[in-house]
Structure 1
């Protein structure tokens, strides 16, 4: 375990600030006379992700808002079903899955700001990367696989870069304002969604205000068995409310400068009658579950694009931000007397069998603030064309966890109470304490890469290098001291650093065909939860962290080709990724001794993991008004140390689409296919294969300018199917229908642009 080093931290902070200043001020330090002579309209700023735009890459694919809207994509599930077969989303962990990796091994950013994936020590709340409204997006960039010279910790599986609307997106031509309103009904969850955005400009000042509200019920499945208990396969009845507000202000200055301020609020609350979770422990109908995700952010940005490439930098971007994200999981029920209480001659409460009101509010909260920046410059050195890209990020995170509750358990030291009648419920039902210390985290990263062109610019060699440093500092709090498993050893800090190199070669065989190969390394720092959680109590079971976890690392190899012609394009990638010190949940001690119910589980580093596969995608405009598109993804993953399959790897998936469009109307039909997953480890779910048909239609009447009507029918043939990575391990055939996906549903939307 590495100790906290304040001198190293100060040195890194100073280096980071110098890097950010080097990115920003050369672009500002232009000749004043030149600025006065140059009159520019709005600049189209690339690199809003906090990284400079890379040359065409086989790993990064951008999906514009037009495609998102056209295919009626409202969440990551839709994106995986109608846009990209290589993207999956797990409802079990509320995370994006790329190439068999998910959770915090896939980095998600929103306007260049990291959106954390969080998990509570009690496994009661997971997610956070879906804490945004798809209606607020202007584009989505997907990078599959680690790109070590641009992204730091958490990008082992890839990167999802989300870009929100700008005021420039709503104002056409020389107009001074623009607006958009949209209303959508979805039968899959019986939801109504309303969204509106308005933007205006005054000289070089641009303003956007966007907001949305959505209300609905539980998402339907194909289960048919109702009632209470684990035999229920129908969805638990429930409802949700989702709301968001986005405000952006852009100020342009002569010479290619733009300053921005952004404020954003997102909140989603879900409440369910947990009829499936109701057992003999609760009064039927009393058990309610709730989940809430809340995210707020404030950010300031500076963007620069050189008007004539004569400045010190061609492009620069800096973002300073504050972000607060929280997950809440609540339980509210009425506990029935334990059946064992009737045979106890004395007060049953003494022996830990609670009755009456039972409530829990499990909170996990992370506050982040930091800076990220990037810049690029093209230069001729030694007769060769070079494009340098460099940048960095520095951020702090404060992680806090707390469980509040009421359970009618007596306030006693359970370690001193005998167990004459076996394990006692109150030993485990502790509340009003923290299952981990508060943790202050610090991370710094910086990178540089260079496109060097040879052979008349047909061959491009791109070396890159990134350095990352992190440290976690746990804090002693009274709430943590109240935990039954409080351990002062968990209050020792940890830190580590890593250099991650990359080398890519791309060869233009023809004007249309590019061949490429890439090797890159990546890493992921262990999370605060993995390091420091201490949930459980003697007499029951324990789930503990491991402060000695090592950093996960990867070596990724890819080869492939891109072919782009006038009417069609095709890309293919073969990848082979090796991971060391892969962090996974392991059994530390079987049931028995102090923990007779479930033993002790925790985290440890697996020696070696391998994931390899192939991805294909393409589109073809084969006739006037007609087009077709498709994608294909196959991954195979194993823990090579134990020869066990990785259950997070999805089976083979493919999408094929056909569309017809005129100036006023169009229609799309898509077929989504998945092979059966027969190879799993342990009790992993063996999902059957499936094929789904979705169809959408849109109409823009000429008589009403800006009006668009859309409709879609999804899973047209009402196929019962399962998303393999959604179904928990250990699910039996009898209960699996509870985890089935939605059957036939329809969606209708009306949009008016002003």
Structure 2
């Protein structure tokens, strides 16, 4: 069937462009052949800056890698609970997490929480995750024990989030085979803007997806060459709702198991400006997360023929998990953009301790009840230093990374598996040493013949060709 316009509709369609043409003509720019120059009335919007791509501040559009940058405003606007919510809409990025359906001695499904980041199909310890340049604890799983990585981070303490897709092995090491997640925490300067000596914020929030409530507050002070910041957050929540509608208390259950999830975070920073070129910053950070789960899906379903339950049938199963991370670091920053050879240098010395402790109790029919206690600990001590030299049309970046990680794990409980005794170790106590050095040379040629002395001005140049050469030497030893 063919539709024909009525005379009234035809007249309106012809009159519409004639009536509004003058208004459209007034709003059109005078010329569209070239981009409009930046003026006070029409300022140019600078692009996002990334540090993880080349370990130097560059515009996202000026690096060869695909980088996602989330600023503080974007994090607040998203109002995400965790990294999974924050990165939910990003292409090629997924934070692995499942509903808790673990057992006392066998499966660990969902027990690790937000286990880590998957970048283009690669995940686990092949994705580098850092907070202020310090590596987060590694992911580990054995039997019913599962320790994730992404829940060691409090989004309320972050200033920016960067996700780099693609290998970063040249600059960071082989644990960046799939990509890197770089997190930067708040500093006093982020709040003390425009000459302020006191600033802060407070925020309350609630979410229906897990019936959670949170409270966050931060305050910063400045006095002369000293500055400080204290930030704390508390969250109380429950299990995340799923699409399951079967709420029976046995293995046929499809609804999420009841859980109480509590998390607490606190961070304190103290900065001192030695002079115009040197600055010191000390950071103390603590993060803990507790989960109490009633694993109804682990209860044995009654026999279909109405017979008696077997002796090893599970009547009740509960889990009590706790993970915490403590970090202390000292940062020295040097910056003199007018210096001849060394314009910037940053050095970190840090100590980080983390522990994951998971306990489960299984009430069985007539067989002996079982308990399982698993612990995983890391103690990381390290130093990293990076410097930058800018020549006429070159930028040299070079640095070293050195860290020593002591890793321990213990399995304990009652009624151990056949042939085993408790306590036992899933792996030998390990001291893991990482040492690396890198040198990177960026050469730029084209309309801009020299590198800018400040990162924000990189967006004003339009180079025709950029060549980046990087060389690194990294080794790992396990004494």
TM-score interval for Structure 1 and Structure 2 normalised by the shorter chain: 0.7 to 0.9
Correspondences of 1:102-181 after superposition (within 5 Å): 102-122=123-143, 124-181=145-202
Q: Could you tell me how far 1:69 is from its partner in structure 2? A: 0.7
Q: Deviations over 1:620-674 (max 9, x none)?
A: xxxxxxxxxxxxxxxxxxxxxxxxxxxxxxxxxxxxxxxxxxxxxxxxxxxxxxx
Corresponding position of 2:402: 394
User: How many residue pairs are counted as aligned between the two chains?
Assistant: 388
Correspondences of 1:705-724 after superposition (within 5 Å): none
Q: Say which of 376, 380, 387 aligns to 1:364.
A: 376
| 1:448 is aligned to 2:448 | no
Mapped to 2, the partners of 1:143 and 1:282 lie a distance apart of: 48
Distance 1:49 1:123, change over 3 A: farther
State the TM-score, normalized to the length of structure 2. 0.77
Which is worse superposed, 62-71 or 148-157? 148-157
Mapped to 1, the partners of 2:330 and 2:281 lie a distance apart of: 6
Q: Could you tell me how far 1:122 is from its partner in structure 2? A: 2.5
Q: Could you tell me how far 1:80 is from its partner in structure 2? A: 2.4
Corresponding position of 2:86: 79
Mapped to 2, the partners of 1:62 and 1:150 lie a distance apart of: 19
Corresponding position of 2:39: none
Mapped to 2, the partners of 1:144 and 1:227 lie a distance apart of: 42
Corresponding position of 2:412: 404
Q: Deviations over 1:279-326 (max 9, x none)?
A: 263542x210132221111100011221x4225311111111000111
- Counterpart of 2:195 in 1: which secondary structure? coil
Q: Say which of 39, 62, 70 aligns to 2:69.
A: 62
Corresponding position of 1:219: 240
Corresponding position of 1:312: 341
Q: Could you tell me how far 1:54 is from its partner in structure 2? A: 4.5
Q: Deviations over 1:97-149 (max 9, x none)?
A: 11111111110000010012221332512212330110110000111001333
Mapped to 2, the partners of 1:463 and 1:62 lie a distance apart of: 24
Q: Say which of 276, 287, 290 aligns to 1:269.
A: 290
Q: Say which of 458, 463, 478 aligns to 1:472.
A: 478
Mapped to 2, the partners of 1:258 and 1:226 lie a distance apart of: 57
What stretches of structure 2 of length at least 5 have no aligned partner? 1-48, 99-111, 301-309, 449-463
CA contact (8 A) 1:50 1:317 kept: no
Corresponding position of 2:15: none
CA contact (8 A) 1:297 1:323 kept: yes
State the TM-score, normalized to the length of structure 1. 0.50
Q: Say which of 333, 337, 341 aligns to 1:303.
A: 333
Corresponding position of 2:42: none
Distance 1:394 1:49, change over 3 A: farther
Mapped to 1, the partners of 2:427 and 2:169 lie a distance apart of: 31
Corresponding position of 1:377: 389
Q: Deviations over 1:344-394 (max 9, x none)?
A: xxxxxxxxxxx33321110011111001111111113xxxx1100111200
| 1:201 is aligned to 2:222 | yes
Greater RCO, 1 or 2 (C-alpha within 8 Å, sep 6+): 1
Distance 1:81 1:118, change over 3 A: closer
What stretches of structure 1 of length at least 5 have no aligned partner? 1-44, 338-354, 410-425, 474-754
Q: Deviations over 1:42-75 (max 9, x none)?
A: xxx9969994335632422321010111122231
